[in-house]
Structure 1
Amino acid sequence: MRNFRNWHTMTVSPAFSGASPAASPADPALGLLPVWKLSDLYAAKDAPEFVADLEKARTLSLAFEEKWKGKLADAAAKTGAGGLGEALSEYDALDDLLGKIGSFAGLTYFSDTSNPANGKFYGDIQTKLTDLSSHLLFFALELNRIDDAVINAAMDRDPATGHFRPWLVDLRMDKPFQLDDKLEQLFLEKSMTSAAAFNRLFDETMSELRFEVDGEKQPLEITLNMLVEPEPETRAKAAVALSKTFGENLRVFTLITNTLAKDKEISDRWRGFEDIADSRHLANRVEREVVDALSEAVTQAYPRLSHRYYAMKAKWLGVDQLNYWDRNAPLPETPKGLISWPEAKDTVLSAYGAFSPEMAAIAGRFFDEEWIDAPARPGKAPGAFAHPVVPSAHPYVLVNYMGKPRDVMTLAHELGHGVHQVLAGGQGALMCQTPLTLAETASVFGEMLTFRALLEKTRDKRERKAMLAQKVEDMINTVVRQIAFYQFERKIHTARKQGELTSEQIGELWLSVQNESLGPAIRISEGYETWWTYIPHFIHSPFYVYAYAFGDCLVNSLYAVYQNAAPGFQDKYFDLLKAGGTKHHSELLKPFGLDATDPSFWSKGLSMIEGLIDELEALDKAV
């Protein structure tokens, strides 16, 4: 059921009591890297404003329950004061307030999960927010018990209620899977000691892991980054270090995986979901048949995409097979120099500005107003993210910037999310949240704009080949790899129904999908069977991963429309982003002449990747 935001799903990085620390110099060649300013939310964990807002949230939650519980059916018959529109407005404001508090606690904790004080703060605030949410849980449940005709009449009659029509219509899709109030409250309160607890265990364990390379122990992000270094020996050493540490911690990751899979199976069974991924499809507001068609289309394309590309890459690198750790190795043609932060900023903003000055202006605020945390440093969580916070505040972006071309693409990706979140914020707290399948649209589109802008400037054929190769690899990682992840999750959750899985069994399932998706040009050797352990999406958001493939294929089709579009495309695109969670994917794509339920839709998206591989093959012959 839908409640307030789930803060443990964030992958974030060091907070410093909400203050803005001095920017980190990192590698001098990168320039001064910015650190975000969490004081925009609250000055510190014990700031008077934070304490006051927490007390305000408690008072308002209790008052809301007292005012509205058991009275929503009567409210639905009224217009104006005391009507359902008033209740929805109050609920929307409460969601924003609780979201702001939860964001600050989550960002602070994930900023440095190794800090015990941050862990206690996060845990305490999570507990308080869960307690407050238990007083608000009745609202959605009671609304869904009101007859459809009554709700429809209220939306038609009362403008204040009608404003929330998309949210109410969306909420009623949950109705068949809704339990009685006591069970829903039990599920909510027990989440702190079940899924949330094991999510926290995963995050803290991963943050503490160190990987030894040449006698030096380093965190995950830095070690993973070594896999895209130009020297084969460096990549091999990193792979050995990763496999060794993952293997030493298999027991805890196996326990986490088994526990969360079982926890989800219990929840799905009680709610009546038929398929193991149906709860995710419902949350994404996408039909199971659409996802099945996507998965099948990508699987059938493996030979034309990943198998074909990796065979080409093996030839370029002078081997019959690539080691699994060489999958993302840079080509010899790849420029060796680091890209400074100012250059990365200019690259992304210029590409955004060429598409839309408004888009560049919004993205520019992230740099100018200290909404970005860029340095890679000990204790900082790996990866990258854009967190929307709440409409009354602003989003934050985290990247681990090391000056590689892929880091520039990651920055473009996350700023796309940020622009989307700013634009959707106008819908208010309840309706700004976009389903995961559409949440990747702006990020992948921003990445594509940046790539195309860079490619157009590149005249050297060897550099162009390196750029195209890297883009193809990124698209394979986004589409092929994520669908393989989705199929791995399906195998895990299906097998878990028969009993606990051993580390060896999980490893075998992992290798089965990796072999199929990567193809014969990749040598899967000992050690790779443990690499499922570090993928956070499996833990935080089961079956999230297909959203990346959905978004990439969608944007490929959308970008093809843009390339041939008449004036006005940008306006329609901004309307899509501003919609937030108020419209179904079919309604949002219709102005562009696209339909994800059309069997040929996914083929169109995949054909763009295939076309880039064709271009690479032709360019290789010309170099």
Structure 2
Amino acid sequence: MKWDLDSLFKGGSQSEELAAFLQETDTLFQTWLDRPETDVIISELTHAVDMLFGRINEMFSFVSCLIAQDVNDNQALLLEEKLQVQRVKFESLRLRLAARLRELEDDAFATLLTEEALKPFAFSLSELRQHAKDEMDPAREHLAASLAKDGYHAWQSVYNEAVGRMEIPFEEDGETKILSAGQLSNRLDSPNTAVRERASLAYQKAWSKEAPLFAQTLNRLAGFRLSLYEARGWDDVLKEPHALNRMQEKTLQTMWETITKNKSRFYRYMDEKAKLLGVEKLSFRDVHAPLPVENKEQSDIPYDDACDLIIRHFRKFSPKMADFAEMALRDGWIEAENRAGKRPGGFCTTFLLSGESRIFMTYDGSMANVATLAHELGHAYHSWCLKNKPVQLAKEYPMSIAEMASTFAEIIVADALLAETEDEATKKMLVENHLSRSLSFFMNIHARFLFEMRFYEERKNGMVSQERLNEMMVAAQKEAYGDQLSEYDPYFWASKLHFHITMRPFYNFPYTFGYLFSLGVYAQALKSGASFEDQYIALLEDSGSMTMEDLAMKHLGVDLTTPQFWQEALDVVLADVDKFLAL
């Protein structure tokens, strides 16, 4: 249940291999940055940017793993600071390339892309050129990137360190245990109502205590972001998220509109779940709680059993995907141990140069954790399918399509489990687990999106108080959940890491996009049978070099800017609502 990081850089945060790699990278940066621009042709600069992008990724991925596994690893935090310096240097080199591309007339740029050495970079260079046209001049962009190290990204570091140091007392089994934020989060999903209620009280107390600091981190990073947007002449706070996710505004708007029109059809499921949990109305914490079982020990799934289960069901869909999962589990790519000192949540990070990934989570035996493990393995398989691409930049895909691959892996396991069980109670539990996760995408994520849209609008006029943040969070949750809950979570803006991530603004809607897109892909898989394995790999291979709309049209033959695709995907979930109510 513990990952192997030594195979990447031996020695953890004291790694001499990492130190040498960092020094080599710094020397390479200086060599390129010191060269007169007139001495460098665009193809040379492009290959340098691509090579250094891979090196930066390798180090950041490693250090993120070190910090996640031990939030008290101060040396890892110092390494992260050193890497931020390297990130600024990379941004300087990227801006130099962007400026050269922006200077070219359209005809000259089109001719440039016909060069043999640059053909694999066509999409990346076109995207970079367009971004350059939307940004400030290179000198001011360089200054902004330099200031961001200590004036923007630092706020996320403050948040991460503060959360990592949280120690939360919790009464359990007749004793007071000291839990990390991640461990307490698992208690919030307990099938035992009393445990959930105690965990919720501990959660509210812990996060309310830290809320003044986190109101500062959120306001300050948002203020920096808005100031940067203003300097670039951007009025729309979604301009950057749209670009990062390679998605049109109309696509996102159509998706949310279609979801909103269908939300009321989930209310009967929510009412039925409340009855099964023995409450009059679901609270915010009840929405994602598993259904109660008579024997908790029987409901727990040992980690090794979860691994075997996932591999078995992957194999029914894709032998290649199953072989990959088997390798990842065997070779120490996964950190799943349930212990204090780890950061909350889960993630998958890719090492572009090594062609490997690492998965982080805290496994506690729940069905939700099995889904998380399948989810993160889906991410890792996505990166694995891109590992032989000759261009490092083409291995970087947007979050929107990343969440498709991960959720697709979840669906494979969930549907296979449902198909093989004959017990009605188990069937109901599995269908409910799927619906619970669907509500996360349709309502919880929507609440985050609504909150951020309104928060940024208010932040334009100055700092937003902690009390106002609480009010806005509850208002967004009430709207997103159709005012169907008995109580809400005013401190969700503080406890949810995604609001405080600086590299990915609006770290919310891509989850919902990816989920619904995955349903479309899964429907195609069911129609195609065994032949879809290679079709799926082809889709993943294109994911780093196409817009979402073009990718969907090429591989699924659908138009994402119209409601039809989204409604058909929603109909799959609504069928599960009917199935749940009938069981």
Same fold (TM over 0.5): yes
Q: Is the 8 A contact 1:386 1:414 kept in 2?
A: yes
Q: Is the 8 A contact 1:69 1:139 kept in 2?
A: no
The CA distance in 1 between the partners of 2:59 and 2:277, in whole Å, is 51
Say yes or no: does 1:462 pair with 2:425: yes
CA distance 1:607–1:377, shift in 2 (3 Å): same
CA distance 1:226–1:146, shift in 2 (3 Å): same
Bigger CA drift: 365-374 or 113-122?
A: 113-122
Superposed CA offset, 1:170-216 (max 9, x none): 21221332211221111111111122110001101111112222233
- Secondary structure at 1:262 match in 2: helix
Q: CA deviation at 1:62?
A: 2.3
Counterpart code for 1:85: S
CA distance 1:134–1:173, shift in 2 (3 Å): closer
Say yes or no: does 1:613 pair with 2:577: yes
Q: CA deviation at 1:558?
A: 1.8
Q: CA deviation at 1:497?
A: 1.1
Q: CA deviation at 1:334?
A: 7.5
2:66 — aligned with what? 108
1:424 — aligned with what? 386
The CA distance in 2 between the partners of 1:571 and 1:246, in whole Å, is 46
- Secondary structure at 1:387 match in 2: strand
1:382 — aligned with what? 344
**Residues 495-510 of structure 1 correspond to what in structure 2 (within 5 A)?**
495-510=458-473
1:441 — aligned with what? 404
The CA distance in 1 between the partners of 2:495 and 2:258, in whole Å, is 27
The CA distance in 1 between the partners of 2:183 and 2:236, in whole Å, is 38
Superposed CA offset, 1:40-87 (max 9, x none): 234444544333322221222222234462456xx3xxxxxxxx4343
CA distance 1:523–1:94, shift in 2 (3 Å): same
**Residues 49-448 of structure 1 correspond to what in structure 2 (within 5 A)?**
49-67=17-35, 69-71=37-39, 75=41, 84-131=42-89, 133-135=91-93, 137-156=95-114, 158-214=115-171, 215-305=176-266, 307-333=267-293, 336=296, 337=298, 338-427=300-389, 428-448=391-411
CA distance 1:258–1:44, shift in 2 (3 Å): closer
- Secondary structure at 1:388 match in 2: strand
TM-score by length of 1: 0.88
Counterpart code for 2:32: F
Q: Is the 8 A contact 2:52 2:90 kept in 1?
A: no
The CA distance in 2 between the partners of 1:249 and 1:408, in whole Å, is 31
The CA distance in 2 between the partners of 1:272 and 1:600, in whole Å, is 35
The CA distance in 1 between the partners of 2:90 and 2:278, in whole Å, is 61
2:4 — aligned with what? 36
Q: CA deviation at 1:135?
A: 4.9
Determine which of 550, 568, 582 is the counterpart of 1:587.
Answer: 550
CA distance 1:68–1:583, shift in 2 (3 Å): farther
Counterpart code for 2:474: L
**Residues 529-568 of structure 1 correspond to what in structure 2 (within 5 A)?**
529-540=490-501, 541-565=504-528, 568=531
The CA distance in 2 between the partners of 1:335 and 1:416, in whole Å, is 31
Q: Is the 8 A contact 1:298 1:483 kept in 2?
A: no
Say yes or no: does 1:598 pair with 2:559: no
Q: Is the 8 A contact 1:207 1:381 kept in 2?
A: yes
The CA distance in 1 between the partners of 2:99 and 2:124, in whole Å, is 14
Q: CA deviation at 1:291?
A: 0.8
- Secondary structure at 1:95 match in 2: helix
Q: Is the 8 A contact 2:218 2:500 kept in 1?
A: yes
Q: Is the 8 A contact 1:195 1:260 kept in 2?
A: yes
Q: CA deviation at 1:403?
A: 0.8
Counterpart code for 2:379: H
The CA distance in 1 between the partners of 2:43 and 2:188, in whole Å, is 54
The CA distance in 2 between the partners of 1:132 and 1:433, in whole Å, is 16
Q: Is the 8 A contact 2:269 2:580 kept in 1?
A: no
- Secondary structure at 1:426 match in 2: coil
- Secondary structure at 1:322 match in 2: coil
TM-score by length of 2: 0.94
The CA distance in 1 between the partners of 2:217 and 2:23, in whole Å, is 34
Superposed CA offset, 1:422-454 (max 9, x none): 112223311111111111111000000010111
2:449 — aligned with what? 486
Say yes or no: does 1:576 pair with 2:544: no
Bigger CA drift: 198-207 or 497-506?
A: 497-506
Q: CA deviation at 1:408?
A: 0.6
Q: Is the 8 A contact 2:446 2:509 kept in 1?
A: yes
The CA distance in 2 between the partners of 1:176 and 1:228, in whole Å, is 47
The CA distance in 1 between the partners of 2:128 and 2:89, in whole Å, is 22
Q: CA deviation at 1:113?
A: 2.4
The CA distance in 1 between the partners of 2:394 and 2:461, in whole Å, is 39
Q: Which runs of 5+ in 2 are unaligned?
A: none
- Secondary structure at 2:360 match in 1: strand
CA distance 1:406–1:47, shift in 2 (3 Å): closer
CA distance 1:46–1:323, shift in 2 (3 Å): closer
Q: Is the 8 A contact 1:105 1:122 kept in 2?
A: yes
Superposed CA offset, 1:581-600 (max 9, x none): 11122332223222212222
Determine which of 435, 440, 447 is the counterpart of 1:477.
Answer: 440
Q: Is the 8 A contact 1:479 1:548 kept in 2?
A: no
The CA distance in 2 between the partners of 1:256 and 1:303, in whole Å, is 36
Counterpart code for 1:164: F
CA distance 1:422–1:290, shift in 2 (3 Å): same
Bigger CA drift: 576-585 or 128-137?
A: 128-137
Q: Is the 8 A contact 2:348 2:360 kept in 1?
A: yes
Counterpart code for 1:251: P
Q: Which runs of 5+ in 1 are unaligned?
A: 1-32, 76-83
Counterpart code for 1:150: A
CA distance 1:577–1:335, shift in 2 (3 Å): farther
Bigger CA drift: 321-330 or 484-493?
A: 321-330
Q: Is the 8 A contact 1:62 1:135 kept in 2?
A: no
Superposed CA offset, 1:381-427 (max 9, x none): 11110101223341111111111111111000000000001112223
Counterpart code for 2:92: S
